[in-house]
Amino acid sequence: MTLPLHFRELGQGRPLVILHGLFGTLDNWQTLARRWAEHARVVVVDLRNHGRSPHSPEHSYALMSADVLALFDQLQLGPDTTLLGHSMGGKVAMRFALDHPERLAKLVVVDISPRFSTMEHQHDVLAGLNSVDFTTLSSRQEADDALARHIRQPDTRQFLLKNLYRRDDNTFAWRINLPVLTSGLTTVGEAITAEHPFLKPALFIRGGKSDYIDAEDKLHHIPALFPNSQVETVVDAGHWVHAEKPEEVYALVQAFINS
């Protein structure tokens, strides 16, 4: 069953729809969204089990693609739309493009390939998130301290803490559906496959210090599904390319949309 996704809309013009990654929210893209909205109708989206979108016991790329299709219908987005996704959102975007090529003009994928991932790199993150005890939690600092026992990188902890909020009764909670994302982590790592490739233009942006898109992806995995694609590398950027090098990502996407 599709879910009604929470979204925010900015600007006017040809549509650009933006999908965040695992444990993210639409807020992760707000700064760049505002800049693109000077030239386009930008829609930033919370995917299911994330942000302010509904929770579901089911979490798969087929369902997330269907959620996005329902949003396209709701907003009457035409075939001149560009769909952009980062990480897990990039796989949702790939799935959507392969399922519904007639609904898109172009595809942008940020630092993810269609291949299978073991998701082992997320085990410490999940251990940290699940270690936060909401029965005793009284401050964001206490949550950060709990995360720090499993996650050394302060930037990663700050990114995750954007999911922490106070409920009406003043207790804390995660906005993400942590139990489902924990039990369904392997589905997030699933490969994106299709009988027929997406023939329209596709831009893949990779971080130069990231291994989410490697040489094998550039040679085989990406061209097999997206033959009309290009891979651009942002030097000195890791997996969160858009947060580390926003100017470069802005320019690459803007040039691609205008080309």
Residue 27 lies in a domain: yes
Query: Range of 238's domain?
Result: 7-116+190-258
Give the whole-angstrom CA distance, residue 100 versus residue 78. 12
Residue that is written with structure tokens 């998130």 in the block = 129
Nearest by Cα to 240 from 218, 209, 214:
209
Q: If pLDDT is split at 50, 70 and 90, which confidence band does 113 have?
A: very high
**Domain membership flag for residue 245:** yes
Residues 206, 96 share a domain: yes
Res 206: pLDDT: 98
Please write the tens of the pLDDT for every residue from 49-83.
999 999 999 999 999 999 999 999 999 999 999 99
- Is 150 buried (19+), middle (13-18) or exposed (0-12) by CB count in 10 A? middle
Predicted local confidence at residue 63, as pLDDT: 98
pLDDT for res 137: 97
Distance CA 245, CA 253 (A): 13
| Domains identified in the chain, total number | 2
Tell me the helices (H) and strands (E) count for the chain, helix number first: 12, 9
pLDDT band for 150, please (50, 70, 90 cuts): very high
- Are residue 156 and residue 170 in the same domain, yes or no? yes
pLDDT of residue 179: 98
User: In what helix (H) or strand (E) does residue 152 lie, and over which residues does it extend?
Assistant: none
Look at residue 226 in the predicted model and tell me its pLDDT: 98
If asked whether residues 167 and 219 sit together in one domain, one would say no
pLDDT of residue 144: 98
Decide which of 162, 185, 208 is a domain's last residue. 185
> What is the tens place of the pLDDT at every residue in 201-240?
999 999 999 999 999 999 999 999 999 999 999 999 999 9
- Domain with residue 234: its CATH number is 3.40.50.1820
Structure confidence at residue 50 (pLDDT): 98
**For residue 59, what are the CA distances in angstroms to 26, 152, 159, 176, 190?**
18, 28, 21, 12, 12
The 3-state secondary structure of 53-64, one letter per residue = CCCCCCCCHHHH
- Whether 97 and 173 share a structural domain: no
Same domain membership, residue 97 and residue 71: yes
Of 185, 216, 234, which residue sits at a domain end? 185
